[in-house]
Amino acid sequence: MAIYFKQTATFRQSANRHKKILSALFSMVFIILLSVISHEAEAAAITSTVRVIHATSDTPFMDPGLKDLGHELQSVFKYTSYRLISSRTLAMAEGSTGRVSLPGDRSLELIPKGVENNRIRFSIRILKNDKQVFTTEIQLRNNSTITIGGPDFKNGYLLFNISGKTK
């Protein structure tokens, strides 16, 4: 009888030890998964700035707000004047849509679709009078910009400089 009780007690002790180890391991896995999920959620935050530029052949002028871009634009385009009409920064989650109003009843929609190999995949739509006129899919290098241009506006053309940044 005494042996039976001893065996039961040993079995209980062993079961308790197993339970403790099991719960410790489960806690560890849970914490790791939680940190992975929170890390991914953090990585999904994408910041984008859309600068709307008016390029014309007027008196030579370079807007101070376009210091970083002026040389690039002048190396390609014939225009002499570059004015910054507006600048807007959007903080977006993956899959969400950022909207920016543009001159001439136009608007720009920006959808970040994911990050891969240090490049942010964007879907960009330009609408005129709510009708889609231009769409493109790009893979923008992190911390870089792309310029989209072409629509004519007030004796010149509109350029949209779009930047993308993610952690």
Partner 1 sequence: MKETNRIKKDSNESLLCTDSGTLCNQESCYDTMTISSFIDGEISPEESEEVKNHLDNCPVCRQVVDHYLSFEKALNSGIASSFKDQDVKILQNRIMATHDLYAKKGADLNGIQNKIRSKLHSIKDFASSSIFSLPKIYLQIASLAAIIILSITALRDITDVNAPMQSVMAQSSPSAIVTSVNGDISSVIILETEDTHHTIIWYQEV
Taking the CB of residue 43, how many other CB atoms lie within 10 A of it? 12
Q: Which span (41-49, 82-90, 94-102, 140-148) binds partner 1, by CB under 8 A?
A: 140-148
Helix (H) or strand (E) holding 72: helix 67-76
Q: Could you say whether residue 34 binds partner 1 (CB under 8 A)?
A: no
Judge whether 79 and 60 are in contact, CB under 8 Å.
no
DSSP single-letter state for residue 65: G
Q: Which is closer to partner 1, CB of 12 or CB of 71?
A: 71
Q: Which is closer to partner 1, CB of 2 or CB of 130?
A: 130
Q: Specify which residues 98 forms β-bridges with.
A: 110
Q: Which of residues 62-81 bind partner 1 (CB under 8 A)?
A: 69, 71-72, 75-79
Judge whether 68 and 22 are in contact, CB under 8 Å.
no
List residues binding partner 1 (CB under 8 A).
18, 21-22, 25-26, 28-29, 32-33, 36, 69, 71-72, 75-79, 117-119, 126, 128, 131-141, 144-152, 157
